[in-house]
Amino acid sequence: MNETFKGKFPHIKLTLSKIRSLKREICSVGEESSLQPVTIAMAFVYFEKLVLQGRLNKQSRKLVATACLLLAAKISSNLKKQEVKQLIDNRHFYERTWVSALVTCGVKDWQKPVHIWS
């Protein structure tokens, strides 16, 4: 299946299995963060558009998936500043996306960010 996908989309640097795994992770984190299904679907669309444009690679995939989920939450759920802060502070969201993504991108000695909304 991965070979067929690679044949149809040679410019995409991720395997179909990895893309599906990332989408499962977006869904899981979204559900654990009590996001609406429409918000999770919007995150899928953003993520798939970036994948199809060939803008993702192994190092940036988790960070981009996180950004897609945050953007979808902000736009489709009409979240206020405090609610976005709570989403980022959510233990599941924080541990499963930001930390692993930043470590993958090579950020060393990373600490929880100070929020600009405070």
pTM exceeding 0.75 = no
3-state secondary structure 76-108: HCCCCHHHHHHHHHCHHHHHHHHHHHHHHCCCC
As given in the structure block, the two tokens for residue 13 are 């640097």
Q: Please report which confidence band the pLDDT of residue 93 belongs to, taking 50, 70 and 90 as the band edges.
A: low
78: left (phi over 0), alpha (psi -120 to 50) or beta: left
pLDDT, residue 59, reads 78
Query: What is the length of the chain?
Result: 118
Tens digit of pLDDT for each residue in 18-38?
Answer: 889 889 988 888 887 778 899
> What is the rounded CA–CA span in Å between residue 108 and residue 103?
7
Q: Give per-residue burial for 63-86: e unless 16+ CB within 10 Å, then b.
A: bbbbbbbbebbbebbebeeeebee
